[in-house]
Amino acid sequence: MALSQDTTAVIETGKQIIFQEAASLTRIAELLDHSFYATVELLSKCKGKIIISGMGKSGIIGQKIAATLSSTGTTALFMHPGEAAHGDLGVVSKNDIVICLSKSGMTEELNFILPALRKIGVSVVAFTGNKRSYLAEKADIVLDVSVEQEACPFDLAPTTSTTAMLAMGDALAVCLMKKKQFTHRDFAVTHPKGSLGKRLTMKVSDIMATAEALPLVAETALLTDLILEMTSKRFGISGVIDDTGKLSGIFTDGDLRRLIQSKRDFLSLQAKDVMTKEPKTISADTMAEECLKMLETHRITQLLVCDDDNCPVGLIHIHDLVTLGL
């Protein structure tokens, strides 16, 4: 289907804007110098909080940077400069570091609180496109986020400049992650609601079926009783235990189907005659992620959970993991 002239023009404009912003990011990357290294070192040694402040669109970017830092191992929060001048400066302590975002470096609300920040004794890092501004002069470290032109056709609305600030914040956050050796497991702790967090923080013991829900029969149980136990507990499996309570084997609905197909006279058989010996099991303290991998690797849908004495204490089904979003 041929595109109309208007459609083509809109698409071309969109491409032009994105290419323009990408070019600005490339330029900023090329401008990175020792100031960036010094900022990473300063932030990594911070004994307090990282406080981000900015007004308007820069403030919104500041909130995103604070959120990214907090979720990747660096305690951070956003402080509105206008509210800071009316009492919110109370959140700042001398062990903190304040990052100020301002394209012009002349943001009135931000510059108004700089003397107070100096009195508290914090270090100040500036994200600005004007290295001769009041903010740049008062900051300990200046990171250049200057852009040649906003994507806005009037060169007014913060577009390319806020993209530059966001990219700089992301660069700092990732460098801090690497410096602090922040791992995907650490990430899971700060994201417990997500699927990754659940995989890496939840254990089999948090999910498994236990007690009366656990399908178990003795070795001497008749096959009819074994089938009843397996079907009534609705897991499609039953464990078989010896007279000491240790696991001897398992019997699954797949085993039952194969037994029926064999056309043997099996109703008089006992559980020990039809069970699969030395089945795969898992311990209760295994992480959910490892359990899921084991189920997928062996292409099975359930596992009996055994203690150190090989006594069944639970059962976990792949549906339990799927239901939790794993």
- Of 121, 152, 182, which closes a domain? 182
Please indicate, yes or no, whether residues 9 and 148 belong to a single structural domain of this protein: yes
**Does the residue 188 lie in any domain?**
no
Q: Is 49 exposed, middle or buried (0-12, 13-18, 19+ CB in 10 A)?
A: buried
Please indicate, yes or no, whether residues 213 and 160 belong to a single structural domain of this protein: no
Please indicate, yes or no, whether residues 238 and 308 belong to a single structural domain of this protein: yes
**Does the residue 191 lie in any domain?**
no
- Domain residues for the domain of 229 are 201-323
Please indicate, yes or no, whether residues 176 and 206 belong to a single structural domain of this protein: no
Confidence of residue 192 (pLDDT cuts 50, 70, 90): low
- Residue-wise pLDDT tens digits, 128-145: 999 999 999 999 999 999
- Residue-wise pLDDT tens digits, 236-257: 899 999 999 999 999 998 888 8
**Does the residue 255 lie in any domain?**
yes
**Does the residue 187 lie in any domain?**
no
Tell me phi and psi for residue 159, to 5 degrees: -135, -75
Please indicate, yes or no, whether residues 120 and 221 belong to a single structural domain of this protein: no
Q: Is the pLDDT assigned to residue 196 strictly greater than 70?
A: no
CATH number, position 89:
3.40.50.10490
Q: What is the mean pLDDT of the chain?
A: 90
Q: Considering only CA atoms, which of 83, 80, 66, 54 is closest in space to residue 162?
A: 54
Q: Is the pLDDT assigned to residue 325 strictly greater than 70?
A: no
Please indicate, yes or no, whether residues 234 and 131 belong to a single structural domain of this protein: no
Look up the pTM and report it: 0.67
- Of 149, 182, 215, which closes a domain? 182
Please indicate, yes or no, whether residues 206 and 310 belong to a single structural domain of this protein: yes
**Does the residue 138 lie in any domain?**
yes
Q: How many domains does the chain have?
A: 2
CATH number, position 260:
3.10.580.10
* Cα 186-46-86 angle, rounded to 5 deg: 110
Does an H or E element contain 251, and which? strand 247-252
Please indicate, yes or no, whether residues 14 and 113 belong to a single structural domain of this protein: yes
Q: Is the pLDDT assigned to residue 104 strictly greater than 90?
A: yes
Please indicate, yes or no, whether residues 255 and 308 belong to a single structural domain of this protein: yes
DSSP for 137-162, please give it. Answer: HH-SEEEE---S--SSTTS-SSSHHH
CA-to-CA distance for 280 and 313, rounded, in angstroms? Answer: 14
Please indicate, yes or no, whether residues 93 and 151 belong to a single structural domain of this protein: yes
Are the beta carbons of 326 and 199 closer than 8 angstroms?
Answer: yes
**Does the residue 194 lie in any domain?**
no
Span of 45-59, 127-141, 182-196 with lowest mean pLDDT: 182-196
Please indicate, yes or no, whether residues 131 and 162 belong to a single structural domain of this protein: yes
Please indicate, yes or no, whether residues 95 and 234 belong to a single structural domain of this protein: no
What pairs with residue 96 in β-bridges?
Answer: none
- Residue-wise pLDDT tens digits, 197-208: 666 678 889 889
